[in-house]
Amino acid sequence: MTKKWIIAGIFLSCIVFAGCGKIFKEKNQTNSEEIMPDKYIVVGFSQLGAESDWRSANTESMKSTFTNENGFELIFEDGQQKQSNQIMAIRTFIQQEVDYIVLAPVIETGWDTVLQEAKDAGIPVIIVDRMVDVEDESLYTAWVGSDFALEGARAGEWINQFLQVKKIDNANIVNIQGTLGASAQIGRTKGLREACKANANTTLLTEVTGDFTQTKGKEVMESLLKKYDDINIVYCENDNEAFGVIEAIEATGKKVGSDIARGDIMVISFDGVKKEAMDYILKDKITCIVECNPLQGPLVQDIILQLEAGEIPDKFSYVDEGMYAHDDTVSSVVIDGVDYPITVVTQELLDVRAY
Ligand code: GYE
């Protein structure tokens, strides 16, 4: 080989290597100056939106878990409450050949086709938060989230016990539901319906969706207050709806609180993520909150690390959740033989609670 060809060869190799580096960097979307060799576990996360404080905390938990320092490269996509956006995101993750797909699905149904595509591509899918309702459960590897039916049952039982202790024999309830078709809505709605069915002293006046947002919660409550002048309890399927509901009630000059016998409208809700919600319990603006734990990032990380080690993770993992109330009218609720204690919110508790 002549000297000319050797020089041309070296020159060509340089171009090829430089090109490879660029492709790798783009695939991993790293901004770091250094081009990392095949190091990170690439996770594509399709979050459903940013509708609530719970959601923000959930997103934050994922982002602070799947960091370069922890050995991950996270590709985050916000579905903006649209299933079609989430399906598009999953298809993009498949094209990008990510190592794992994490999906927080907006509703339960309609995932079979796209999850089959991920399975065919050999990419494990981990579902977080809400469930997917698919024909073939092997379409996802694992699920991490809350027992929404239990949350609803706990809230329903709390209401019934509260009414019994306070000797209230006629309570009118309205339900501000979450996003229709979402597991959190399905489980929480079921809990209330069953509790009302079991208690002849309650009337479920109506159910209407507030889409888990403060704005919609306020809007629907304004129209309910025009339609019904005898609402005693508002069951909000998350705290953000409760914030909107409280605004709407107070704007009419009515009082929010647990003294139903004196005309208060009692608000109860779910999540307990933000300090504002806990402050509202202290003031008896929200009388009871069934906690919903958004800190799922570390649990998903454990699942991925198990898979990396060739182990088989549990198919379903439930997060721990408590219950908070303004006072000790109800000290615990029993569901299926299990006793769930209720924590009375005090200023001291709020001072030490991490948010
Ligand atoms: O309770 C609500 C959010 O699916 C558990 O969705 C989640 C629910 C949560 O918007 O605030």
Q: Average pLDDT, stretch 58-68?
A: 98
Q: What are phi and psi of 24, to 5 degrees?
A: -60, -45
Task: Give the mean pLDDT of 29-36.
Answer: 49
* 118 Cα: distance to centroid of ligand 1 (angstroms): 25
- The closest-lying atom of ligand 1 relative to the alpha carbon of residue 213 is 10
pLDDT band at 2; cut points 50, 70, 90: very low
Residue 226 is encoded by which pair of tokens? 């025009």
pLDDT-wise least confident of 29-33, 164-168, 202-206, 317-321: 29-33
Q: How far is the CA of 32 from the centre of ligand 1 (A)?
A: 34
Residue 237 Cα, ligand 1 centroid: separation in angstroms?
A: 8
pTM (2 d.p.): 0.89
**Residue 34: which pLDDT band, with cuts at 50, 70 and 90?**
low
Ligand 1, residues 53, 55, 147: which to mutate, most atoms within 8 A of Cβ? 55
Q: How far is the CA of 212 from the centre of ligand 1 (A)?
A: 7
250-301 pLDDT per residue, tens: 999 999 999 999 999 999 999 999 999 999 999 999 999 999 999 999 999 9
How confident is the model over 331-343, as a mean pLDDT?
97
Task: Evaluate if residue 13 carries a pLDDT over 70.
Answer: no
Average pLDDT over residues 22-40: 50
Question: What confidence tier does 39 reach under pLDDT thresholds 50, 70, 90?
Answer: confident
pLDDT of residue 22 exceeding 80, the answer is no
Check residue 353 and give its pLDDT. Answer: 83
Average pLDDT over residues 14-38: 43
Query: 162: closest CA among 282, 257, 244?
Result: 257
Per-residue pLDDT tens over the stretch 175-199 = 999 999 999 999 999 999 999 999 9
CA 46 to ligand 1 centroid distance, Å: 15
The tokens for 29 are 């979307």
Residue 330: CB partners within 8 Å, gap ≥ 6?
A: 158, 161, 162, 165, 288, 342
Ligand 1 pocket at CB < 6 A = 51-52, 54-55, 129-130, 146, 182, 184, 212, 238, 270-271, 292
